[in-house]
Amino acid sequence: MIEAYAVTEPGGKLAPFEYEPAPLGPEDVEIDVQYCGICHSDLHTVRDEWSSVMATTYPCVPGHEIVGKVTKVCSAVTKFKEGDLVGVGCMVDSDQTCPHCQSDVEQFCNSGAIFTYNSPDKHLGGVTYGGYSENIVVDENFVLGVPENLDPAGVAPLLCAGITTYSPIRRWGNIKDKKVGILGFGGLGHMGVKFARAFDAHVVVFTTSPSKKEDALRLGAHEVIISTNSEEMQQHAGSFDFILDTISAEHDINSYLGMLGLDGNLTLVGAPEKPLSISAFALIFGRKSLSGSLIGGIKETQEMLDFCGEHNITADVEVIPIQKVNEAYERMVKSDVKYRFSIDIASLKSE
Ligand SMILES: [Zn+2]
Ligand SMILES: [Zn+2]
């Protein structure tokens, strides 16, 4: 049996759980999970808070920021071999034939991407189980190579928080010497800062917490704006080329659109629960645009990991044993983590 942590009913806590190993298909790679990051999506899913979009099927084994070692490759696998350090992110399958898959954006697969957990599972029926588990079996086309020079605990969050911020920054174009704003400085925001800095932008963090200023500067920001200080905000009005909005709490988007200059863009990657109220004038004056972004395709995720290897970029993590995962969820809600939890999956075996 595979040892994991699952929530077995709505409102339940994560607790030890066992399931049958998956039968392997010819293109499958079996991975011994070493670290799994904790994403906000994990918490929303186990609590069934996104029931209107994707209801949770219980038991639910979350986790889509996975790093581990390949323990077995099946007959048709060509990209990986036993012992390779690999990653698995938010997706484990798609039809691989539709126009979106063909253009390397499998996350928008017309047949629906198969997510790493709480999605229909082709192996066992039921739903997919994620990385809060000692083992995961994934089609080689959705397995990523992880640079060996990076700390695997800090690599895990790159598989979701990393690609979520990397992809929109790349899509916007060359940000060298451009003024780039990062809204929010948590799991996503701190990665946005690292990437924007690595691409040589002038990086400015917007935060409501003066206590985060020092860390933001240390991790690569050139400036920090305390967004509740209207004088400080006014000084920067109309001066940004691109703003990455990682805030998932309610916030006044119009004041940030006002920070953009001509043809500036604000891209949302955080997902506030309630609809945003947007003034048309905030976009019309200055020909500004507002867009969204969802993770990245497999090709781009590999590009991101290789970039991280070259530039020595990982997430700042607090490593925890899996027995502390419920406590970690409570702390994550209060933003009491710098800046992502990474579960040491070896702790499962100490049960
Ligand atoms: Zn995630
Ligand atoms: Zn497709």
Task: Give residue 102 CA to ligand 2 midpoint distance, Å.
Answer: 7
CA of 287 to the centre of ligand 1 (A): 32
Enter the tokens of residue 89: 């992110």
Q: 84 C-alpha vs ligand 1 centroid, how far in Å? A: 23
Which ligand has an atom closest to residue 271 CA? Answer: 1
d(Cα 234, Cα 236) in Å, to the nearest integer?
A: 5
Q: State in Å: Cα 285 to ligand 1 middle.
A: 34
pTM of the predicted structure, to 2 decimals: 0.96
pLDDT in tens, the chain (351 residues): 999 999 999 889 999 999 998 889 999 999 999 999 999 999 999 999 888 888 999 999 999 999 999 999 999 999 999 999 999 999 999 999 999 999 999 999 999 999 999 999 887 788 999 999 999 999 999 999 999 999 999 999 999 999 999 999 999 999 999 999 999 999 999 999 999 999 999 999 999 999 999 999 999 999 999 999 999 999 999 999 999 999 988 999 999 999 999 999 999 999 888 889 999 999 999 999 999 999 999 999 999 999 999 999 999 999 999 999 999 999 999 999 999 999 999 999 886
User: Measured between alpha carbons, how far is 345 from 347 in angstroms, rounded to an integer?
Assistant: 5
Q: CB 171: neighbour CB atoms within 10 A?
A: 13
Ligand number nearest CA of 104 is 2
338: exposed, middle or buried (Cβ count in 10 Å: 0-12, 13-18, 19+)? middle
* CA 309 to centroid of ligand 1, rounded, Å: 21
Query: Any bridge partners for residue 66, and if so which?
Result: 36, 88
| Distance set, CA 69 to CA 137, 139, 159, 297 (Å) | 12, 15, 15, 22
Alpha carbon of 40 to ligand 1 centroid (Å) = 6
Task: Note the ligand closest to the C-alpha atom of 98.
Answer: 2
Point out the ligand nearest to the CA of residue 38: 1
Distance 231 CA to ligand 1 centre (A): 35
Task: Report phi then psi at 303, rounded to 5.
Answer: -60, -40
* Dist. CA 171–CA 296, nearest whole Å: 10
